[in-house]
Amino acid sequence: MSKELTTRAADYSQWYNDLVIKGGLADYSAVRGCMVIKPYGYALWENMRDQLDKRFKETGHVNAYFPLFVPKSLFEAEEKNAEGFAKECAVVTHYRLKTDPDNKGKLIVDPEAKLEEELVVRPTSEAIIWNTYKGWIQSYRDLPLLINQWANVVRWEMRTRLFLRTAEFLWQEGHTAHATKAEAIEETEKMLDVYAEFVEEYMAVPVIKGIKTPNERFAGAEETYCIEAMMQDGKALQAGTSHFLGQNFAKAFDVQFMNKENKLEYVWATSWGVSTRLIGALIMAHSDDQGLIMPPKIAPLQVVIVPIYKGADSKPVIDEKVATIMAELKALGIRAKYDDNDNARPGWKFAEHELKGVPVRIAMGMRDLENNVVELARRDTKEKQTVPLDGLAGLVQNLLEEIQQNIYNRALAFRADHTSEANSWEEFVDLLDNKTGFVSAHWDGTAETEDAIKDKTKATIRCIPLNNKQEAGVCILSGKPSTQRVLFARAY
């Protein structure tokens, strides 16, 4: 079969790629490091985007759109931010092509059409946005400014992976300006909560909320908050970040406001983002060797109905019954499809919908029709049951909720199983190598130790969990005193 998947045990990376490609989420493109998001994958993204967008708006944000290009002089204004991204920027240097005089039918960059100032293709939009905010903010009455944009960004990565790290990706980036430090920090934390709630409740992926160490901090931020998720191979994935930017960008772009006391002050900033990388997290957190497993709340398709018929006579009878079921499902807002394509037989359809991760499948044949029942199958456990037609829609609705909860619980249990405490270096290394997952251990708080641990084990500090328990201990590597444990893991 061309649709055969690599198993997780055989080759986890290949399994992941197979799911993305064969599950119809995305395809490789003609551009290095860039992918085509196919309709099924995009439908998933749209569902995720719609939920997030709703929450952003509920928390007082509005959407806007800023340019793809950032003049180099603006880009370099905030030094740390510029430095952090410099190595992965695509840069536009010319604005015209012309026909090659030496090679008919080919085009060359017109050397006459060199831009006076290079344009950086945004790897993130702080620079262009803060340059704009300068003109929008004069008074405390203009604050807070709470803006989000849905956009694409480009980061010229050396090594790319479908959804997890592509040269171009889709995301949202919130950029807010506040009158006080406290309010900006509150915003940073609020948006982290929005992310955590969305990822847990809709994507059914449990996350750890925490803050990054200075080493792992966003370039130009005072503090980076993050949510960290765990994949089925025990590796961590940063699922979203929310940054408290202090006054760094306000100072770099000279954004000041007049406060109530008629004094000029620099504004306080935040930025926060999640990307199509979340789709990678979704895949690796839930799916199995048969294919994708979509959380019902954001699944492009929640229910698929497969007719089983012998001869042309029975099909119209089934069609009629299914039309009723479809109407009932749609009345409850359930995304359902009647897969009556005659080219494929039922067994093929079952396998295909399992590959695509459709949460619930309903099969209906004459046998069922006579007994007024259908076969109801759930993707997460592969369990099948025969249920009466009466009250089917309600039952399906409950089942969708149960599946959502079940895959969350499953991921949570996996994470619990793969979260350990290490109290010695030997134990630490052993856990990372053999148990994988998060390892909670004491760290002396220095960047040197953090780097040394990374060099020796490839594990990084994923975060210092919020509201972390304070306890005296000694650093796993240096033996120096420590006041708290931090979460280590190998990560994507």
Give residues in contact with RNA (CB under 7 A).
1-4, 11, 13-14, 17, 28, 32-33, 84-85, 87-88, 124, 155, 157-162, 165, 212, 215-219, 241, 290, 308-312, 342-343, 345-348, 350-352, 354-355, 361, 363-369, 375, 377, 382, 384, 455, 458
In whole angstroms, the minimum distance from the beta carbon of 199 to RNA comes to 18
* Amino acid, res. 4: E
Q: Which is nearer to RNA, 29 or 139 (CB)?
A: 29
Q: Which is nearer to RNA, 8 or 137 (CB)?
A: 8
Where would I find the H helices in 332-435? 346-356, 366-371, 392-417, 425-430
CA angle 411, 414, 419 (to 5 degrees): 125
Task: Region of 402 please: left (phi>0), alpha (psi -120 to 50) or beta.
Answer: alpha
Q: Which is nearer to RNA, 25 or 143 (CB)?
A: 25
In whole angstroms, the minimum distance from the beta carbon of 229 to RNA comes to 15
Cβ pair 380, 361 in contact under 8 A: no
Q: Which is nearer to RNA, 114 or 367 (CB)?
A: 367
In whole angstroms, the minimum distance from the beta carbon of 72 to RNA comes to 19
Q: Which is nearer to RNA, 72 or 161 (CB)?
A: 161
Q: Which is nearer to RNA, 257 or 338 (CB)?
A: 338
Distance, in Å, from the CA atom of 419 to the CA atom of 437, rounded to the nearest integer, reads: 6
In whole angstroms, the minimum distance from the beta carbon of 295 to RNA comes to 20
CA angle 371, 375, 379 (to 5 degrees): 170
In whole angstroms, the minimum distance from the beta carbon of 433 to RNA comes to 12
* Amino acid, res. 82: A
Q: What is the CA radius of gyration of the chain?
A: 26
Distance, in Å, from the CA atom of 119 to the CA atom of 91, rounded to the nearest integer, reads: 6
Token pair 């949460």 is at which residue?
359
Token pair 């134990």 is at which residue?
427
Q: What is the DSSP letter of 218?
A: -
Q: Which is nearer to RNA, 114 or 456 (CB)?
A: 456
In whole angstroms, the minimum distance from the beta carbon of 351 to RNA comes to 3
Burial class (CB in 10 A: 0-12, 13-18, 19+), 247: middle
In whole angstroms, the minimum distance from the beta carbon of 98 to RNA comes to 22
In whole angstroms, the minimum distance from the beta carbon of 472 to RNA comes to 28
- Which residues, 6+ apart, have CB-to-CB distance to 414 below 8 Å? 230, 232
Q: Which is nearer to RNA, 14 or 483 (CB)?
A: 14
Q: Which is nearer to RNA, 351 or 466 (CB)?
A: 351
In whole angstroms, the minimum distance from the beta carbon of 342 to RNA comes to 6
Cβ pair 413, 206 in contact under 8 A: no
In whole angstroms, the minimum distance from the beta carbon of 333 to RNA comes to 25
In whole angstroms, the minimum distance from the beta carbon of 141 to RNA comes to 32
Q: How many CA atoms lie within 13 A of 216 on its CB side?
A: 25
Cβ pair 219, 84 in contact under 8 A: yes
Cβ pair 150, 61 in contact under 8 A: no
Q: Which is nearer to RNA, 96 or 456 (CB)?
A: 456
- Which residues, 6+ apart, have CB-to-CB distance to 186 below 8 Å? none
CA angle 479, 485, 488 (to 5 degrees): 95
In whole angstroms, the minimum distance from the beta carbon of 455 to RNA comes to 7
Q: What is the DSSP letter of 372?
A: T
Cβ pair 360, 380 in contact under 8 A: no
Q: Tokens standing for 409? A: 């619980």
Q: Which helix (H) or strand (E) holds 91?
A: strand 91-94
Q: Which is nearer to RNA, 318 or 336 (CB)?
A: 318
Distance, in Å, from the CA atom of 80 to the CA atom of 22, rounded to the nearest integer, reads: 41
Q: Which is nearer to RNA, 90 or 412 (CB)?
A: 90
* CA-wise closest residue to 353 among 367, 365, 336: 336
